[in-house]
Homo-oligomer: A and B are copies of this chain.
Amino acid sequence: MNNQVKIRESIDPKHLALQKTLDIICGKWRLYIIYQLDTQARRYGELRRMIPEVSEKVLIQELKDLVSLGVIEKKSYNEVPPRVEYSLTAKGLQVLPTLLSLTSIGELFLEP
């Protein structure tokens, strides 16, 4: 797993949980990807087009990480040409409001 932002080799469960949270949100495109998936499943190509600035490798990597974290899930349809869809998991949906609420922090600090 990349994008590890360790808080501490923590014994304290609070810090462990925080660590996990940071794992989830602290990747350059993590939140952005999550937001593209909030309402509906998206194909890989769609996501590429929605976030053209991110390179292929990094997008795949971030998607993989989010899948292994359990935030999103991947569904491959055995068709030709191949079709793959990504969507939020139940847990992912569950934390979406909290993630969205993070904007309020930024808004407060953006003011002069």
Tell whether, in the assembled complex, residue B110 and residue A17 are in contact, meaning their CB atoms are under 8 Å apart: yes
Q: Which of B8, B18, B102 contacts A106 (CB 8 A)?
A: B18
Measured between alpha carbons, how far is A16 from B35 in the docked complex, in Å?
Answer: 14
Report the copy number of this chain in the oligomer.
Answer: 2
Contacts of A69 in B (CB 8 A): 109
Which of A25-33, A39-47, A74-82 lies on the face that meets chain B? A25-33
Contacts of A8 in B (CB 8 A): 32, 51, 53
Q: A37 to chain B: closest CB distance in Å?
A: 15
Measured between alpha carbons, how far is A27 from B4 in the docked complex, in Å?
Answer: 10
Chain A residues at the B interface, C-beta cutoff of 8 Å: 5-9, 14-22, 24-29, 31-32, 51, 53, 69-71, 91, 94-95, 98-99, 101-110
